Amino acid sequence: MKKTVISTLIFGFSLTCLPLVSSALEPLKQAGKTTLYQRVLSTPTCELKKNINDATGQSVPAFSRYYVYERKNENNQEWLNVGPDSYGKTVGWINNSCAVAWNMQLTLVFTNPVERDPLLFFKDRDSLSAIVDADKPETLIKPIRDALKENKTTPQVVAQEPKEFIDFKSNFYLLPILQGEEVMNGQGFYERILEVASVSKQETVVKNNNKSTNQSADDNTNQVAPFKAAIVFVIDSTISMDPYISRTKEAVERVYQHIEKEHLQDQVKFGLISFRSSLKASDKLEFVSKVFADPNKVKNKDDFKKLSASLKQASVSTAYFAEDSYAGVSQALNDINWNSFGARYMILITDASAIPGDDKLSSTGMDAAQLRLEAQHKGVAIYALHLKTPSGEKDHQVAAAQYSDLTYNDFIHKSLYYPVNAGDVNEFGKKVDSLAQALSEQVKLAYKGESSVGNALNAKDDDADMLKDALLLSKAMQLAYLGDTKGTKAPTVFKAWIADKDFVKPTIPTAEPRILLTKSQLSDLSDIVTKIANAANDGLISADDMFSQLRSVAAAMGQDPNKLKSDSVTKIADLGLLGEYLDNIPYKSDVTGLDQETWKSMSGIEQEKFIRNLNSKVRYYQKCNADVDRWISLSEGSDPRENVYPVPLEMLP
């Protein structure tokens, strides 16, 4: 069993490519496609040759993506004339035997390994399927894991996931999906079994045939230090919120007293942001959202008290019962520098739902799903303490749905949404005390190199679930922090089979897919989803108008007019509006299966929700497009237009 690790091979190539040959060539198309080109990934044995018959060539970085411009058979071998992009630039020839076809630009990212076993990479599909199909997979997997713990030979497995979390965002790695399917496992749950490819440079390891030991010390004490935490409160300060504002300040002061006794004031920092609503409705609200205390700048308890002293509830009412909660969340994500903190917590406190992103009074234009993904990108866990006051009874259900979505945490696979019954100030105070204390206590234990158990697992009161979640989340953040500081990489393996769910806990994902879209593809997606949303708006009045408009869009895109008139073309998918780059992608679409009759049968609320969801996704695409720091080059020397952005499948239409 090899415990080797992946180095980032997508950035910082030291290779100097062969001279580029300009041409007006176009890459070869994939079979049956009109817009998708043939793409391959290089492997460690690939050599790039200027001419096929050259004795030797130049080594290329593993997993460089190349476009195929020409295929030629020479001496019973197939050679590929390749280029780094699709703009007519070729760099030489590689042997097809060393390349891996990559038709779908799909890759996997590991989930945080807290509360699940490490993902295993199997040599073949049959070995994996035997465990997936078993009604008691633990009986088959236990001997394998026991052998791996003792560094014994495991013939079924070629690698396993590292103990620490590998942050895909800060340490990009490529686990391309080559093929796979969704199956029902022996326990009755659906999961995907996937063939993936992965390859890397070798880290320093001690090898013995099929054994190796990573030289990093996984079990060193105090390996988390200097682990720091930021706990930022994002609090509603509209009318009626003064008691909760005061109680939050009191909770912070209590925790500060505790951490100062422990001499941990440099390890736990507090911040405070407040939000109200749009100034368009009333400029007397003073602000939409405002930073009162930045955790990077707060020195101590007295400093926090001084900075937060001016925060009081608004003197005038807002236009809606809903407030611009998302403004406060967005400002906390974007205006706070989280990079110096290993543990990153945001605690949202409000008695109202959030103004939707497509409302005229929204300052962000974003909804819960987009902000959740942004928080995920920055490694920030969002809690919500929802004050279910009697005056907001009709609003409670909407708020609960929004904040459950916003606070869903992909580390522990559940929402961090906690209602406060009747908005009771005493109950709220108890919750905010417990939460702030629990989060800071985990930092203390981690900093001192102790096991992060605390008292959460033994909690018996009403806050037990919240405190247990805090414990799990703290463990997850420590794993993420360790993975980042120790430079943990993905395991080295070329081709292997994996399951995307834990064998023993089949509801917990081990890995999640991302589709890598180019700028032109993302722009195309944004444009067409906007057109579908506009047509759906017209469809609120007449479904016939909606589909007539969509047929016109399809015709303008070059779809066969005769085909569009066919009675068999009844669904949006049949119109050919969405690009071929979404073909065969394993996700469930809200859009493609929609037909005229289904749209007619939907209620007005359902139709409006459909449109709002599309508009939110368009705003997400626009944010991605403008985010220059997250675009990734997959091949040295490629045109920047071929850089890709890893889009979660849930953001596809």
Identify which has the larger pLDDT, 644 or 555: 644
**pLDDT score at 495:** 78
The mean pLDDT of 611-626, rounded to a whole number, is: 89
| CB-count burial class (<10 Å; 0-12, 13-18, 19+) for 204 | exposed
Q: How far apart are CA 324 and CA 313, in angstroms?
A: 15
Mean pLDDT check: name the lowest of 172-186, 287-301, 481-495: 481-495
Q: How far apart are CA 629 and CA 645, in angstroms?
A: 10
Percentage of the chain exceeding pLDDT 70: 82
> What does residue 41 show for φ and ψ, rounded to 5 degrees?
-110, 135
pLDDT band at 455 (very low <50, low <70, confident <90, very high): very low
32 and 151 co-located in one domain:
yes
Q: Hey, what are 268's tokens? A: 């736990």
The one-letter amino acid code at 348 reads L
Q: Is the peptide bond before 118 cis (omega within 30 degrees of 0)?
A: no
Task: Check whether 5 has a pLDDT greater than 60.
Answer: no
Contact 47/94 with Cβ under 8 angstroms?
yes
> What does residue 465 show for φ and ψ, rounded to 5 degrees?
-60, -45
**pLDDT tens sequence across 391-416:** 999 999 999 999 999 999 887 888 99
pLDDT band at 574 (very low <50, low <70, confident <90, very high): confident
Percentage of the chain exceeding pLDDT 90: 36
pLDDT band at 11 (very low <50, low <70, confident <90, very high): very low
380 and 266 co-located in one domain:
yes
Closest C-alpha to 463, from 440, 429, 414: 429
**pLDDT tens sequence across 513-560:** 888 999 888 999 999 999 988 888 887 877 777 888 888 887 777 666
- For 320, 322, 367, 618, the CA distances from 359, given in Å and listed in that order, are 11, 11, 10, 15
| Residue 221 covered by a domain | no
Mean pLDDT check: name the lowest of 90-99, 222-231, 352-361: 222-231
- For 120, 399, 500, the CA distances from 154, given in Å and listed in that order, are 11, 50, 21
Identify which has the larger pLDDT, 25 or 454: 25
Q: Hey, what are 94's tokens? A: 């590689």
458 and 496 co-located in one domain:
no
451 and 524 co-located in one domain:
no
The mean pLDDT of 575-599, rounded to a whole number, is: 80
CATH code for position 381: 3.40.50.410
> Which residue in the block uniquely carries the two structure tokens 């290779």?
15
User: What percent helix, strand, coil does the chain show, rounded to 5?
Assistant: 35, 25, 45
- Domain that residue 494 falls in: 1-216+487-508
| CB-count burial class (<10 Å; 0-12, 13-18, 19+) for 256 | buried
| Residue 280 covered by a domain | yes
pLDDT band at 459 (very low <50, low <70, confident <90, very high): very low
**pLDDT tens sequence across 127-141:** 999 999 999 999 999
The mean pLDDT of 483-501, rounded to a whole number, is: 67
**pLDDT tens sequence across 418-451:** 999 888 999 999 888 888 888 777 766 655 544 4
600 and 547 co-located in one domain:
yes
Helices within 540-642 (DSSP H only)? 543-556, 561-564, 596-601, 604-626
pLDDT band at 29 (very low <50, low <70, confident <90, very high): very high
377 and 289 co-located in one domain:
yes
pLDDT band at 224 (very low <50, low <70, confident <90, very high): very low
Identify which has the larger pLDDT, 563 or 250: 250
Q: How far apart are CA 636 and CA 455, in angstroms?
A: 51
Identify which has the larger pLDDT, 465 or 526: 526
The whole-chain average pLDDT of the chain stands at 81
Q: How many structural domains are present in the chain?
A: 3
Q: How far apart are CA 350 and CA 63, in angstroms?
A: 47
420 and 495 co-located in one domain:
no
476 and 492 co-located in one domain:
no
**pLDDT score at 128:** 94
Q: Hey, what are 509's tokens? A: 């994902």
**pLDDT score at 84:** 93
pLDDT band at 487 (very low <50, low <70, confident <90, very high): low
Question: For the chain, how big is the Rg over CA atoms in Å?
Answer: 27
Closest C-alpha to 285, from 228, 361, 213: 361
b/e sequence 413-434, b meaning 16+ C-beta within 10 Å: bebbbbbbeebeeebbbbbbbb
**pLDDT score at 566:** 63
Closest C-alpha to 624, from 651, 597, 584: 651
Domain end marker among 455, 475, 508: 508
Question: Residue 552: which residues within 8 A CB-CB, separation 6 or more?
Answer: none
| pTM, rounded to two decimals | 0.68
**pLDDT score at 235:** 96
| Longest Cα separation, the chain | 84
Q: Is the peptide bond before 162 cis (omega within 30 degrees of 0)?
A: no
Task: Check whether 244 has a pLDDT greater than 80.
Answer: yes
348 and 376 co-located in one domain:
yes
| Residue 152 covered by a domain | yes
Q: How far apart are CA 352 and CA 319, in angstroms?
A: 13
Mean pLDDT check: name the lowest of 52-66, 70-84, 236-250: 52-66
The mean pLDDT of 133-161, rounded to a whole number, is: 89
| Residue 391 covered by a domain | yes
Identify which has the larger pLDDT, 460 or 339: 339
139 and 18 co-located in one domain:
yes
**pLDDT tens sequence across 282-338:** 888 999 999 999 999 998 889 999 999 999 999 998 989 999 999 999 999 999 999
